[in-house]
Amino acid sequence: MKPVACRVANPNTSCAPSSTSTTSTSSSTTSTTSTTTTSTSSSSTTVSSTSSTTSSSSTSTTATSSTTSSSTSTTVSSTSSTSSSSSASSTSSTLVTSTLSSSTATTSTSSEQPTTTPAYPPVQGYNWVDCYQEPTSGQRLLRGAQLATDDMTLEKCATFCASWPYFGTEYGRECFCGLALTDGGAPAPLSECNFPCSGNAAQVCGAGSRMNLYNHPAKTPSNPEEINGGSSKRIGCVTEAQGGRTLGSAATASDAMTLEICDNFCAGYPLWGVEYGRECYCGNELRQGAEVVAKEDCDMLCAGNGLQLCGAGNRVMVYARQAPPPQPT
């Protein structure tokens, strides 16, 4: 008799009672299952394959697994029951399953953004800018006031430069202040600012020709003030004359210097000027040899008003007193 293929969709449903050879191939994800069932019966034979949870079948299972590949071999022996009075022949059903799988462990890493700690913490409202090299022109990066002491600290320098938007430490013991950075200065590798401060070895105070630079944004004037309500007009930034003061008739100095103070002090002179942040000079004319230079050269803030400019080293911000307007007759 020609064999008839039979697919058992329901475990409780049996194939025809004739001799049957069934081969089924099922695919499950990455595993291939090959099942061969042989059933022999002289009369009426029922083959039932039950899972390990069915009490009427005995199941023997052997499983071997690995991290990267697992091979599982399962042998199920199911007993066949004969429902007729004829002699029953034992049926052996062997199910062999070979599974090759690749198991990949997925590691989930939860990363949080690290908290960025500044290379140098703020000092009295000043924020660290960078390590800077001095200009090759020979001028200072910061051309305002300066201080040198063997007990230098960042706090001491910040206090000294309190009226300036910039301060910087250099060579372990030097402190410089300024309104703006001189052209020619440029950032340098942080490792080159490696001198400990002479007054606090835990702090860094630049190095030779290397400045540890700080800036106070609130102290940086976008447009420095002129005189408030005076009768003088700015002429410009003027160099000192050779062999003497550009304005040499009278002079005064004060740590509270402002444009108004100098204007009032020089009330009897047609010309007056401020220099080095705290010095005031009066005169009738500019001495020979004085030259007008770029106004940016007069970049020191007045000691008594951080929004006004009071010349610089060897630079005088000169004002001319205007004639009072004619009085009505």
The 10s digit of each residue's pLDDT in 109-158 is: 444 544 444 558 999 999 999 999 999 888 889 987 889 999 999 999 99
Q: What is the pLDDT of residue 244?
A: 87
Whether residue 237 is found in the same domain as residue 317: yes
Q: Does residue 84 belong to any structural domain of this protein?
A: no
Mean model confidence pLDDT for the chain: 70
Whether residue 257 is found in the same domain as residue 174: no
By the 8 A CB rule, do 143 and 312 touch?
yes
Report residue 25's pLDDT band, with 50, 70 and 90 as the boundaries: very low
Report residue 88's pLDDT band, with 50, 70 and 90 as the boundaries: very low
Question: How many domains does the structure of the chain reveal?
Answer: 3
Which of 219, 249, 264 lies at the terminal end of a domain, its last residue?
219
Q: What is the pLDDT of residue 277?
A: 87
Q: Does residue 207 belong to any structural domain of this protein?
A: yes
Distance (Å, whole) CA 296 – CA 79: 105
Nearest to 247 by CA among 225, 267, 228, 275: 275
Whether residue 208 is found in the same domain as residue 134: yes
Higher pLDDT, 16 or 241: 241
Whether residue 202 is found in the same domain as residue 240: no
Mean pLDDT on 259-276: 94
Whether residue 241 is found in the same domain as residue 209: no
Range of the domain at 16: 1-45+91-98
Whether residue 206 is found in the same domain as residue 132: yes
Whether residue 202 is found in the same domain as residue 238: no
Q: Does residue 60 belong to any structural domain of this protein?
A: no
Torsion of CA 51, 54, 57, 63, to 10 degrees: 40
Q: Which helix (H) or strand (E) element contains residue 259?
A: helix 259-265
Q: Does residue 51 belong to any structural domain of this protein?
A: no
38-67, pLDDT tens digit by residue? Answer: 333 333 333 333 333 333 333 333 333 333
Which of 219, 248, 281 lies at the terminal end of a domain, its last residue?
219
Whether residue 214 is found in the same domain as residue 294: no
Q: Which helix (H) or strand (E) element contains residue 159?
A: helix 154-160
Whether residue 214 is found in the same domain as residue 239: no
**Burial (Cβ within 10 Å: 0-12, 13-18, ≥19) of residue 211:** buried
Q: Does residue 240 belong to any structural domain of this protein?
A: yes
Q: Does residue 50 belong to any structural domain of this protein?
A: no
Least confident stretch, 88-92, 262-266, 306-310: 88-92
Distance (Å, whole) CA 293 – CA 297: 7
The length of the chain in residues reads 329
Q: Does residue 103 belong to any structural domain of this protein?
A: no
pTM for the predicted model, two decimal places: 0.46
Distance (Å, whole) CA 128 – CA 119: 8
**Burial (Cβ within 10 Å: 0-12, 13-18, ≥19) of residue 195:** buried
Distance (Å, whole) CA 317 – CA 292: 10
Residue 123 DSSP symbol: B
Distance (Å, whole) CA 19 – CA 41: 7
Which of 190, 219, 248 lies at the terminal end of a domain, its last residue?
219
Q: Does residue 81 belong to any structural domain of this protein?
A: no
